[in-house]
Amino acid sequence: MHSPYACPRFAVTPVDRSLAAELQGMIDQKTKPQGALGRLEELALQLGLIQHSLAPRIANPHVLVCAGDHGAARAGVSAFPQEVTWQMVENFLAGGAAINVLARQAGMKLVVADAGVAHDFGPREHLVDAKVGAGGTANYLEGAAMSEAQCAVAMGHGAKLARDFAAAGCNVIGFGEMGIGNTASASLITHCITGLPLADCVGRGTGLDDAGLERKRALLAQAMAAWPQRPPFSHLPLTEGAAGRGSPHLGKAEAGPDALRVLTRFGGFEIAMLAGAMLAAAEARMTLLIDGFIVTAALLVAAQMSPAILDYCVYAHCSNEAGHRRQLDWLGGRPLLDLGLRLGEGTGAALALPLLNAACAFMNEMASFESAGVSEKTG
């Protein structure tokens, strides 16, 4: 990709680990056996590193749900008709969807963005008009889903929203999506970037039966066969990242542009928007709450462009969609929850936020052995 739209630039830097020893010492000195709070201790350390603070806190958390339609949906890759995308956006705006309920419970501000839904909503309160293509993406069975320019615009819209959230004092963003057919798109992106077998990346999505699943697999194999200039990915193994978690070992400078080629060929406008929002959020040193399969596909693209983004990611849950655990394994990500969810919308992120609050609370409110006058372990 050599056009001026080719590769949006983001200055994502690894977390500063200079406070790591002091943070770990504070965690170890709380009135408990070392490690007794398990993953909460790891989470407190990560939040402290991201915020470069000995007293991490959650401030004005948002969940961003990006919606878009996919041209390939009309070919039968989903159990639901394409109209469900705009109908569910209306449900979000009316406050009746699962993410509305769970975001309210978690104290998160819900922002819904139309990245490219095949429906004219008109000016609507609580809906961000970030529409890139009025009818959604093109059909990737016949060619590229979007142009390089459209991809850049979608990523730019997402980046602007993340920066606006940061300016409003938000330091945690959960990511969600809505788009009939987007599990198929995420499957293709995952296959291309990770090198995992396509069959391992394809699941039932919104509830396909066995015949529907076989049709979906056949259509996605057809989509891969119809791409004559697929980039030569190296699929190099993972190494340990700056924050002690897995990060892609990018062996060549073209890794980012190659990921964008995949995104333009098979992605959705909502997936591109999410990738841009994630990169801008990490650039602003915010915590990224990563939801399920489609959101993680957007992260795969973003991580190829800026591997340091993974330092800022908290993996909310492992979904019941077939390829999600494989994505997490490839990224070296450990999910906080495993509830069998397969809804999307950012629901897993909303459910995980209380754990981030708990990690901050024990860091800031729990007594140390010294302050409580409690004897420490003797041997």
Which residues are known catalytic residues? 345
What is the helix (H) or strand (E) element at residue 108, kind and residue range? Answer: none
Asked if 174 and 61 count as a contact pair (C-beta separation under 8 A), the reply is yes
Query: Using CA atoms, how far apart are residues 313 and 62, in angstroms rounded to an integer?
Result: 15
Beta-strand runs (E) in 137-248: 172-178, 238-240, 246-248
Nearest CA-CA partner of 56 in 353, 281, 366, 363: 363
Buried b (16+ CB within 10 A) or exposed e, 223-251: beeebeeebebeeeeeeebbbebbbbebe
Which residue has tokens 């073209």? Answer: 254
Query: What φ, ψ does residue 192 adopt, rounded to 5°?
Result: -70, -40
Which tokens belong to 21? Answer: 């020893």
Asked if 101 and 148 count as a contact pair (C-beta separation under 8 A), the reply is no
CA angle at residue 301 from 144 to 109, to 5 degrees? 105
Query: Using CA atoms, how far apart are residues 374 and 363, in angstroms rounded to an integer?
Result: 17
Report how far apart, in Å, the C-alpha atoms of 26 and of each of 100, 119, 367, 370, 375 are.
36, 53, 10, 11, 16
